Amino acid sequence: MCFHEKPAKEVEVISHQTAQNSNHALQILSLKKKAKNGDLVTRTGNDFTSQSLKTLNRRNKTFSHCGIVHIENDTVFVYHALGGEWNPNQKLRKDPFEEFADPVSNNLIGLFRYNLPRKELHKMVEVADSLYQIAIPFDMDFSLDTKDKMYCAEFVLYCLQEASPLLSDLPLSQINDFIFVGVDDLFLQKICEPVGVIKYR
């Protein structure tokens, strides 16, 4: 007698990496749902440049990059000034939240909220969008003296101060004669509160 075995049902093999990526996607979705217009988004890449840049922060060396949330037709975007090989044209970017938070190229991401009137938060996003429309370039000199080009933290600071005159004298960082705004200068302000942080690794 001949027996024909029933074909074995295919079983999906989920690797540790696949499961981890799936978990990260859920975490990112959860954080994205909490995002509001004008929120500060921070991240740290897993590349050498990001690891070097975060050491410039004088008080908290967790994050190396930042941007501003803009919710448009239910889609959450992040405006951010990015330079180097990741952004060849050096122009201000407007990326989907998931792309900004990409777990493959980042170690962690944070979301913070400024305790400002809704009108000022709306103005903050308007300023960010106006700079995006004119495609303001990245400032490779990291100088606060020029407004025709900006680095990431300078871009956020500029939008904040344009939206709220009361924030015109926020404390900045200094190394010898070099005065700059670090990412930590933005989220350690008294008017800023953490919403959530995702650590990928």
Query: Residue 39 maps to which CATH number?
Result: 3.90.1720.10
Give per-residue pLDDT as tens, 30-82. 999 999 999 999 999 998 889 889 999 999 999 999 999 999 999 999 999 99
Residue 2 falls inside a structural domain: no
Please say whether the beta carbons of 192 and 171 come within 8 A.
Answer: no
- Whether residue 5 is contained in a domain is answered as no
Range of the domain at 158: 16-199
pLDDT tens digit sequence for 69-122: 999 999 999 999 998 777 778 899 999 999 999 999 999 999 999 999 999 999
4 within domain boundaries: no
Could you give the CA distance from residue 35 to residue 23 in angstroms, rounded to a whole number?
19
42 located within any domain? yes
Please provide the distance, in angstroms rounded to a whole number, between the alpha carbons at the two ends of the chain. 57
Per-chain mean pLDDT for the chain: 89
Place of tokens 């938060």: 121
Q: How confident is the model at residue 19 (pLDDT cuts 50, 70, 90)?
A: low
Residue 67 φ then ψ, to 5°: -160, -175
3-class DSSP state of 25: helix
Give residue 5's pLDDT. 41
Is residue 9 in a domain? no
141 found inside a domain: yes
In a domain, 174, yes or no: yes
Q: Is residue 33 part of a domain?
A: yes
Between CA 164 and CA 117 the distance in angstroms is 9
Alpha carbon distance 134, 147 (integer Å): 12
What total of structural domains would you count in the chain? Answer: 1
Q: How far apart are CA 55 and CA 167, in angstroms?
A: 25
β-bridge mates for residue 107, sequence order: none
